[in-house]
Structures are given as C-alpha cells and as structure tokens.
Amino acid sequence: MKFFLDTANLDAIRKAAELGMCDGVTTNPTLIAQEMKHHDHLISEIAKIIKGPISVEGDSDTCDGIVKEAEIFKSWAPNVVIKVPMTHEGLKAVRILEKKGIHTNVTLVFSPSQALLAAKAGASYVSPFVGRLDDISENGMQLVRDILEIYKNYGFKTQVIVASIRHPNHVVEAAKAGAHIATIPADVFNKMWHHPLTDKGIAKFKEDYKKTANLKK
C-alpha cells in the first residue's frame, strides 16, 4: 500500500519523507491556500523532495481549459499528476491527457458509477472522498470497497486513492479493503504511531533499566 501525504506543507512533507514513507503528495486549492504561496513555487518545492506523483488541481471547468492548465502544471515538475473534476468535461479531458501520457487523478468522487466512468475514461487514479461521505452519515469506506470490486471484475488499471481521510482508522480500513493508496493529512499521519500503552511501556522500561544499569559487574 502506498502512502501519499494530503498537504502542501513543506515541513510536513519533509518529515514524512525522512521516514521514507511519503510515496506521493496530493494537493488541492484549499490546501495550497492554507500555505499562502503561489501554486507554481510550492509545487516546484514539493517536487524537490518527492519523486512520486504530486496531484495538482486548477479551476478550469471546460475540457480545453483543463488540458491547457495541465500543460502549465506539467512544466512545473515532471511528476505532476492532474486532478480532474468528476464532470462530463473533466472525463473528456482525462481521455485526452492520458493519450498524451499525462497522468490524471479524477477527484471529488462520491459514487461507484462515477468511479466506473473515471476508469472507462482511462484515468490513472480515482479519489473517493470517504470523510466527506461519513460527514453526511453515508458510508465512505463502503464506496471504496465497491470501487475495488468493480475494478477487479474488469481488470481496470485505475488506482484507488482513498481521500478525505479523517483519522488513523480510515487508513486501516483502506488497507483492509485493499486500496492501492491512502492520501493522509499530516495530523492523521502523526497520530498513526501513537498508543498510550506504548508510551506507558517505554516509561516503565526506562525506569527499570536504570535500576540495573549502574550495578557492579
């Protein structure tokens, strides 16, 4: 399973990269706005750290506009992946971009039928937003399972990026479902290794270590 970081924060990306656990990055206009830096600059900086896919999203809603925007984004770094909205125009753009060898990530996916269309259009990635579905009392992880089942039935090569992750359990559930990728916010990533019993155990072992450390041989 690959871990992407769902952030445009350079410090968070560097920290995860130090662990060798950041296989890619997803951004969106909201995440870029949180950093208050120009897209161009931020994506080039991220690309200096991360060699895996970096998803970038613009604001065009016509097929021509999305394709033009994609070419600009690709000039920032070779590993840029174009986030394309799940619309009629977006799906047209996916086919054109993939034919040109530009990878796409169909974003804002909330139903199995949308994911099926994204795969039929030839998208490299599809992003079901589990947290936003859970927020409205739907079952985000069931959507992931449905998409994986459909893709398996027909051998679609589109990879499933579990997005809109809210807590470590979402990552665990994504792994249990067999999703290819989880894109994880930095705060959730940092919660993944914490457990109070681990902290308690370390404190106790430290205390007991001291009891014998200075004994004469």
Q: What CA–CA distance (Å, rounded) separates 30 from 126?
A: 19
Check binding of 132 to ligand E4P (CB under 6 A): yes
Which CB sits closer to ligand E4P, 52 or 131? 131
Check binding of 3 to ligand E4P (CB under 6 A): no
Which one of residues 164, 171, 177, 188 is an interface residue with ligand E4P (CB under 6 A)?
164
Which CB sits closer to ligand E4P, 9 or 164? 164
Q: What would the two tokens of residue 160 be? A: 């499933």
CA-nearest of 29, 30, 12 to 21 is 12
Q: Binding segment for ligand E4P among 17-25, 69-77, 113-121, 123-131 (CB under 6 A)?
A: 123-131
Which one of residues 6, 69, 146, 173 is an interface residue with ligand E4P (CB under 6 A)?
6
Q: What CA–CA distance (Å, rounded) separates 171 from 150?
A: 21
Which one of residues 76, 129, 156, 189 is an interface residue with ligand E4P (CB under 6 A)?
129
Check binding of 7 to ligand E4P (CB under 6 A): no
What's CA 46's distance to the chain center, in Å? 14
Which CB sits closer to ligand E4P, 68 or 166? 166
Check binding of 168 to ligand E4P (CB under 6 A): no
Check binding of 127 to ligand E4P (CB under 6 A): yes
Angle of CA points 171, 176, 179, to nearest 5°: 70
74 classed as catalytic: no
Which CB sits closer to ligand E4P, 104 or 183? 183
Q: What would the two tokens of residue 124 be? A: 């490299």
Contacts with 106 (C-beta within 8 Å, 6 or more apart), sequence order: 83, 84, 85, 86, 90, 91, 94, 114, 115, 118, 121, 123, 125, 126, 127
Alpha carbon separation from 43 to 7, 35, 80, 108, 124 (Å, rounded): 11, 12, 8, 21, 20
- Interacting residues with ligand E4P (CB under 6 A): 6, 26, 28, 107, 127, 129, 131-132, 163-164, 183
Give the catalytic positions in this structure: 83
